[in-house]
Amino acid sequence: MTVTPALAPAYVYDFSEGDRTKVDLLGGKGANLAEMTRLGLPVPPGFTITTEACRYFLENGHGPSGLRRQIADHTARLEEEMGRRLGDPENPLLVSVRSGARFSMPGMMETVLNIGLNDASVAGLARMAHDDHFAWDSYRRLIQMFGKTVLGINGEEFESTLDQMKAKAGVATDVELPVDALRRLVDAYKSIVRESTGHEFPQDPYQQLDLAIRSVFHSWNTERARLYRRQERIPHTLGTAVNVQVMAFGNAGEGSGTGVAFTRDPGTGHSGVYGDYLADAQGEDVVAGIRNTSPLQALESIDPVSYAQLMEIMRTLELHYRDLCDIEFTIERGKLWMLQTRVGKRTAAAAFRIAVQLVDEGVISMDEALMRVTGHQLGQLMFPRFAVGGSDGRIAKGMNASPGAAVGRVIFDSPTAVKWAKDGESVILVRRETNPDDLEGMIAAAGILTSRGGKTSHAAVVARGMGKTAVCGAESLDVDTKARVITTSDGHLVKEGDVVSIDGSTGDVFLGAMPVVPSAVVTYFEAGLHAAVEDADDETAELIRAVDRIMTAADRARRLRVRANADTPEDATRARHMGAEGIGLLRTEHMFLGERKTHVERLILADTDEDRRQALDALLPLQRKDFIRILEAMDGLPVTIRLIDPPLHEFLPDLTELAVRVAVAEARGEEHEADLRLLQAVNRLHEQNPMLGLRGVRLGLVLPGLFALQVRAIAEAACFRQRMGGDPRAEIMIPLVGSIQELELVIDEAAGVLKEVADAHGCTLKFPIGTMIELPRAALTAGQIAEAAEFFSFGTNDLTQTTWGFSRDDVEAAFFSAYLEKGVFGVSPFESIDREGVGELVRIAVKKGRARRPNLHCGVCGEHGGDPESIHFFDEIGLDYVSCSPFRVPVARLESGRAAVSRHVTRSDTR
């Protein structure tokens, strides 16, 4: 019996074999190259090595069985299709090797161009192209790029050699180098390779290809790539695809060039021709920003036929992808080639404008528009902007690469930017042009300023993706990174540490700190649409109207209600303006601070019931007044009031300081009886781990009258508001409950106080009494606790601490950075909910609680209530509301709407 051998899995796909639905397998670049090929657009032929192959390679140190054979077969097929061979001295084929992950990571991984050139084939390329300059320029580019990315040679060695060669030839740019100089440059580059590695530059083109593919695989795990993924919350487990593609030469002389185009302005969202073009160059020249580009419109006069074809392709792609498209293209002697397309990164303002434009154009629905923006982008729009107008104080003007207002001290390198930022300084990273190695500094900086590059340079693309303010191509600034100084056009020196302000919306650069004014979007939330657009310029008014339409759609779609964490009437009022539908957490301990701490001290030091009563009586009117004002600000909306939570030692003097004070007084023979009694109380209340000690419900049970005082103040405040015609809707929340017995004891006491006050004042007090779920035991016994609790509010900050065994104040500084670096965390569990651990406890508690009490109201009041990713989880598990800081309320409203639409789409897709 003949057994047919199993076919090896396919690890390599021709561009004609895929489409954009295979993005997980082929990566974004490979899937989109396949999609453009399928659409019949002019794409140089090639093939994609899958992300599965990359993952196998990274896990095992070598490729899977059959990969090498598949690469060889596809390479041979490509050679046959093109009628040329890699390394052929008469008719050489050249290919590029590029990365292409599932999610766009601009500049973070490796690219190698011109694979296939060697000492023999460079002459064949020159004869074939009838252009010696083009051939030798391509060869030196290969050695330079291969040496840096594949062989790990410091790129400065190649750059400095190139600068020396240009200086010797008396030219300003590499394009102007004569052929003889390029030949000498190739020899010099080969010497660098030999001296740095101990080996000659590889002449075998298939070895070049193999090493380049390996280099791209390895680049998935470089420090800059991992850092970028942490910043963008991209999983480290995905791996990258590798794209091998026939070269299209933008550096082939007259009629050749390369560019980047966007189907709409990614900075503003406006329609129109937008992008950069660079004649006689390869694509990396544009992205790297090493030469200043021309606007894309210039191509119309240079090559009107290619320009018209490009405009038609841009329209085709935008309609096909139904979104802003980012396109890379090359023109080789009048022939247009498409090298890449993807849904383009955009600024926050552009995202909102484009979303509503596409709705108005009938391209997408309003629900789809809601999914095209994010809470993070809305938050960016709410930051302040510069108040300046005109050019007063301006020292330069560059390209408005990524909007925003940033003020900081000038720093010239990434490590220094990181160090200064860690020390609390706001910094502006200043470079001639950025490269992927600058990523850490770009993340740390408040803004980025470059003297070279355009709106599609590395600095611009990465800054827009991160929502970071950037001004690029400020050509009038002479940036000397070695001397660490900027020289302006009028000769003024700006040294490291000097303060500058950059406006990413206008491209203006100012010396010194410019004043800022509130965002018009914040004015919209606080004062309404009419007030926000009344005095706004046309562009700002257009943006505000776009935000208004998106927010209206979000409010209409969302199921989750949004409350605010607010402790003062001012916070409550602002939260209501921002769209909060109540208060989800009012921390009463803040009402005991300041001058009131003396009353708390009296309560702690009380030796008799009478002393305790007097201390409580002094606090009662103060608490009542606070509650009256907050219930008035939130009239008609629920106000969840958490009874005092922190341990009492927080209201007492520091133990060490007090002990020193007593000792000094004793030594001097001074009166110290009061301080001595206070020291004894502090010693008595001192705990090794106070956050797990006498606090929350435990405090209310151990210190008689404390919780009763607070409940009485709430009840009397509500009665007062009722008499004033108000509609107070207080909810009383008991913190740190671990068992139903604790809760029942407090509820019995509270019920007695409420009845007493209601009878005395003739008012109706039907306040729900519930608990915070912030201990694992409470989550696991939620069914029992729900017998007494009328609502649950998840305190996810403490629940995260107690689930992980973390002390937040200690661990974040101690080892979180190491945990993030080593991949233990993708993101801090205090920033975004830990779905598998803490989130699962929340899910269990909701399920068990509602099984016992079907109408149990459940919300979250930790900081996770304002985190976009966490909000989607809370919607998924059926919480009724989220609560966050007032400023984050609009973000929570938007993300709640997006969560509802996403859930609906997911359910539709699974039917």
- Terminal alpha carbon distance of the chain: 44
In whole angstroms, how large is the CA radius of gyration of the chain?
Answer: 33
Decide if 704 contacts 745 (C-beta within 8 A). no
Q: Indicate the length of the chain as a whole number.
A: 911
Write down the residue that tokens 């890449």 correspond to: 340
Amino acid found at 585: L
CA 656 to chain centre: 42
Of residues 435, 438, 434, the one with CA closest to residue 416: 438
Rounded Cα–Cα distance for residues 22 and 20 (Å) = 5
* Active site (annotated) includes residue 472: no
Q: Are 98 and 213 in contact (CB under 8 A)?
A: no
189 in Cβ contact with 181 (< 8 Å): no
The torsion angles phi and psi of 143, rounded to 5 degrees, stand at: -60, -40
Q: Dig out the tokens for 752 from the structure.
A: 């007695």
Q: How far apart are CA 847 and CA 878, in angstroms?
A: 9
Q: How far is Cα 817 from Cα 807, in angstroms, rounded to an integer?
A: 15
* Helix, strand, coil % in the chain, rounded to nearest 5: 50, 15, 30
Give the active site residue among 54, 858, 861, 884. Answer: 861
SS3 call for 536: coil
Question: Could you give the angle at which helices 673-685 and 655-668 cross, rounded to 10 degrees?
Answer: 150
To the query of whether residue 133 is one of the catalytic residues in this protein, the response is no
Residue 469 CB contacts under 8 Å (≥ 6 apart), including other chains: 402, 403, 404, 405, 406, 446, 447, 448, 463, 502, 503, 504
**Nearest to residue 126, comparing CAs of 205, 182, 42?**
182
How far is Cα 158 from Cα 176, in angstroms, rounded to an integer?
Answer: 17
Question: Cα–Cα distance between 66 and 407 in angstroms, integer?
Answer: 55
Cβ contact 690:649 at 8 Å: yes
Of the candidates 133, 218, 458, 649, the residue annotated as catalytic is: 458
Question: Pick from 281, 530, 509: which is nearest to 398 by CA?
Answer: 509
Q: What 3-state class would DSSP assign to 683?
A: helix
| Run of H or E including 163 | helix 155-169
Alpha carbon distances (Å) from 517 to 382, 385, 403, 520, 535: 11, 6, 15, 9, 14
Distance CA 14, CA 33 (A): 10
CA-to-CA distance for 509 and 395, rounded, in angstroms? 6
Cross-strand partners of 859: 793, 881
Q: How many CB atoms lie within 10 A of CB 617?
A: 12
Question: Mind giving me the DSSP string for 136-149?
Answer: HHHHHHHHHHHHHH
Tell me how far the alpha carbon of residue 256 is from its chain's centroid.
38
Any idea which residues carry the catalytic annotation?
A: 458, 861
